[in-house]
Structures are given as C-alpha cells and as structure tokens.
Amino acid sequence: MRSSASQRLGRARWMGLGLAAVLGSGLAIWSGGGAPSESERAPVRTPVPSASSAQVETASASRPAQAPLRIVRITATPHDVPVGGRVVLGCEVEGGSGEASARRYTWVAARGRLEQENGPTVTWVAPKSPGLHQVGVLVQDGDSQVKQTLMLHVHVPTPEDLRALMKDSDWKQAGEQALAQQAAVEAKLAALREVVARRETREDRLRAYHALGDLAALQLGEGRYEEALQSYEELLGSHLETDPKRKPFLAGKASALFALGREDEALRVYAQAGDHNLPMSHYYAGLLLEARGQLPEAIEAYGKAAEANRWFADPLLRYAELLLRQGRPAREVIDLLVTASPRFGRELLLERLATDPQFASLNQALGASGRASELEERRPIETRLPEPPRPPEPGRTAVITRE
C-alpha cells in the first residue's frame, strides 16, 4: 500500500459504528394510513345509561379506527458534514392519536453529541472521528411506538469547512466545550500516569498494572498512537510469550501500529492477536493483505471485519469482490449481499457499487443476476437493553471480573 494510504490510516480515528446496544439494527419502513381527518377525530357521544345494548354496540361500531403510528421520514440537513459540524435532524410522524402533544421523541447517537434528546427536531454535533455514524429516534404515542435510524457521513474538514465553521455563531460555545472535554481527558491521563508511576508496594504495582491498561486504551482512543504503543509494549513486557493474557495487549499494539503506518509490524502483531483484534484492525489488515496480493488472507480479514463492523458496508463489499476474483459462484456472492442488505439498506449498497470502480466486478455480477430488486431497505430497529445482572445464589459470594 502506498505511503499516502498509510498516512490516511494514521489520521483515521477508531470508529465504534452502530447503536446495537441501544436500538438494534436497520432502518424502519412502516406501512399504514395517514393521520385521521378532523371528522374522524370528532368525539363519539356516550349512550345514556338507559340506552339498549344494541344502541351501545351501534355507537361503538361507529367509532373510527385509529391510524397506525408511523414515521414518514427522518430528515438531516446536511447529510455530510466535517468533524465538529452540525446536522439538524427532523422526524415527521403520522397516525396514532393524531395529537402532536401526546407524542414523545427520544433521540440517540452512537457517537457525537445531541444538543437535546427530545422533540421532533434536534441538532447533532459530529464527533472527531471521520466515517459513517448512526443516529436514531424512538417515537411513542400512548401504547404505540416506532423507531428508525439514519446514517450520516463525517469527513475530514477542508479549508472551506474551517472557514465556514469559524463563521458559525455557535463556534465559540462549541470550542469552549471541546476545550473542556480535552481538559477532562488530560486530567484523566495525568491521574492514570500518577498511579502507573507509584510502584513501591505490591498493591501499588497491581494498581499500576491495571492503570497502565486503562492508560493505553485511552491514549489509543485519543489518537496518541506513539504513547499508546509505548504503553502496550510495557504491558506486553510483563507477560511471558505463552501467556494468553497478552492477546488483548497485542490487539491494542496492532491498532497503534496500523494508525502509525508501520504496515509490516502491524500485520505481524495482528496475526499474533488473532480474534482479539479490534474491529477496524481486521479491515485495515485486509486492505494491506490485498495490496500485497495475499488474497486468501485478505478474504479472511474482511470476513472478520464484516462480522464485527455491523454498520460498515465496505468490509462486506470487499469480501464479496475478492470471492468473485477467487472464482466463487456469482450466485453465492449475490446471496451475501441480499442477506446483508437489511443492515445497510438497498440505496447505500447500490450507490457504493455503482460509484466505486473497485467494486466494478461485483456491480456487474449483481446487474447480470437480475436480483438488485431483492436488496432490502433497512429493517425496523428494536430497543434492546442489556439484561440486569443476576444476584448471587444464597450462600455464594458475587465475583466481579475485570474485562
């Protein structure tokens, strides 16, 4: 891979794509009628107590059926913003009780910051990480609820973006918030370094070991790759080569090496870390292996990346493209796209295939198969909260494990 590509990897922030822990998967395409008319919302007279049962049944039958609650669309202005940019999100809803005041809106975002979480219109501030990021909304009206998500693209700011951001009336406030967040990160880094440096007693050394792991992860997340690399190397030095506890630290080291553009070292450490690698490490390894002509190894890496990055389509598309080049039947490869389409959406997949020349063979195979219409839109999202921990059985002591 060219050095410029390595530099791009070095500048990329690690993405945590998806809202699976909060909202589940897919976009919602809901069916149902529109909002009830004024005549339909008119109250039905309640029969007087002396009315016959037939009159009561007639009055009940005359009540209009309530239209199903549905999200008509989620709007985003704009869809593509630089890091730190703002997106105005809107949710248009029909059906339900028909009373706007009865609807409750709850917005969530995998990354970035929502300036408010309630209401039909909110503002999302893009994170520092370029890439695809997901936002979602849950709308409740009485006992009815519907959910939908939207993918937004965040790019590295151009000089024009920076000039526009500087003119933003909220730029000063956003800058102050960014400085406050950075100050909090610096304070946490300093506190961890202080614990790591104190190693006088056995308890101090044990605390220092755990603090060094937290420090390395924070350094990696904040893009301090050289510092993270040093921390992971120190952690690895405290374990024997055969110790399985080394695997997560090898994964962190591989991530730092990928970001620094040290390709050969990164691939070597990536192989040692195995399945403990971070999701994006599998994708970057696939890119490097493909560039070196190691297609079977690249296919394996892309397959792991596609499974780990549930909201990132490129690993799956590269995986499918390489399978075609390796002679796998087109029918099997198209089956992969059709099966995965509810995660990404029909429009996104068709756009990526039609506009990226690297997927020309895959796009041609899809067109020749006549199965483009089988690609699905994103499926409705579901609220999936983690199960609460079970209390220990009588007579047993609860054990808290450190992950």
CB 70 within 8 A of CB 30: yes
User: Among 165-174, 274-283, 394-403, whose mean pLDDT is lowest?
Assistant: 394-403
Please provide the CATH number assigned to the domain covering 278-378.
Answer: 1.25.40.10
State pTM to two decimals.
Answer: 0.53
| DSSP letter (8 states) at residue 319 | H
The residue behind tokens 């080569």 is: 241
| DSSP letter (8 states) at residue 318 | H
The answer on pLDDT for 253 being more than 90 is: yes
* Crossing angle (nearest 10°) for helices 360-369 and 314-325: 80
Number of H helices, E strands in the chain: 14, 8
Structure confidence at residue 311 as a pLDDT band (50, 70, 90): confident
pLDDT at 394: 55
Structure confidence at residue 389 as a pLDDT band (50, 70, 90): low
The answer on pLDDT for 336 being more than 50 is: yes
3-state SS class at 20: coil
pLDDT at 190: 93
Structure confidence at residue 254 as a pLDDT band (50, 70, 90): very high
What DSSP string describes 188-239?
Answer: HHHHHHHHHH--SSHHHHHHHHHHHHHHHHHHHHTT-HHHHHHHHHHHHHTS
Closest CA to 315 of 15, 69, 41: 15
CATH superfamily of 12-37+61-166: Immunoglobulins (2.60.40.10)
Share of the chain above pLDDT 90, in %: 37
What DSSP string describes 243-306?
Answer: -TTHHHHHHHHHHHHHHHT-HHHHHHHHHHHGGGS-HHHHHHHHHHHHHTT-HHHHHHHHHHHH
The answer on pLDDT for 5 being more than 80 is: no
User: Among 61-65, 147-151, 233-237, 264-268, whose mean pLDDT is lowest?
Assistant: 61-65
41-52: pLDDT as tens digits:
344 444 444 444
Domains of the chain, by residue range, sit at 12-37+61-166, 181-265, 278-378
pLDDT at 22: 35
Closest CA to 96 of 135, 132, 144, 139: 144
The answer on pLDDT for 264 being more than 90 is: yes
More confident residue, 387 or 261: 261
CB 330 within 8 A of CB 363: no
3-state SS class at 403: coil
Q: Report the distance separating Cα 57 and Cα 61, nearest Å.
A: 6
pLDDT at 380: 60
Angle, vertex CA 388, rays to CA 384 and CA 392, nearest 5: 155
pLDDT at 6: 44
Q: Which of 151-155, 174-178, 179-183 has the highest mean pLDDT?
A: 151-155
The answer on pLDDT for 11 being more than 70 is: no
Structure confidence at residue 235 as a pLDDT band (50, 70, 90): very high
104-117: pLDDT as tens digits:
999 988 788 888 77
The answer on pLDDT for 300 being more than 90 is: yes
Four-point Cα dihedral 12, 323, 19, 271, nearest 10: -60
Q: Are strands 86-94 and 70-77 parallel, antiparallel or unpaired?
A: antiparallel
Q: Report the distance separating Cα 367 and Cα 371, nearest Å.
A: 7
Structure confidence at residue 250 as a pLDDT band (50, 70, 90): very high
